[in-house]
């Protein structure tokens, strides 16, 4: 079983190889949430915002891979 970071990394590498132009388009899904995390005042809110950023980025990777036929649903 892959850890979340390993799972995201493998999806990122696949997308980078298959469609490098999509890679930059996905950065916003992470950086927008990351910016929100940086602006939070409490450590708990910051961790929740970071978790949301990671989840949003993985979902964006999944969507891009699925829409381009490189991944079956619910990977």
- More confidently predicted of 22 and 73: 22
Alpha helices in 1-75 (DSSP H): 4-18, 20-39, 43-67
Q: What confidence tens digit (pLDDT) does each residue in 50-71 have?
A: 888 888 888 888 988 888 887 7
Q: Which residues contact 1 (CB under 8 A, 6 or more apart)?
A: none
Which has the minimum average pLDDT: 6-15, 23-32, 34-43, 49-58? 23-32
Distance between CA 36 and CA 32 in Å, rounded? 6
Distance between CA 12 and CA 15 in Å, rounded? 5
């Amino acid at each position: 079983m892959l850890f979340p970071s390993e799972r995201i990394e493998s999806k990122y590498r696949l997308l980078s190889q298959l469609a490098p132009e999509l890679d930059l388009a996905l950065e916003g899904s992470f950086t927008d949430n990351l910016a929100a995390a940086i602006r939070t005042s409490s450590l708990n809110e910051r961790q929740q915002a970071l978790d949301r950023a990671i989840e949003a980025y993985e979902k964006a990777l999944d969507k891009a891979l699925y829409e381009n036929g490189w991944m079956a649903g619910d990977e």
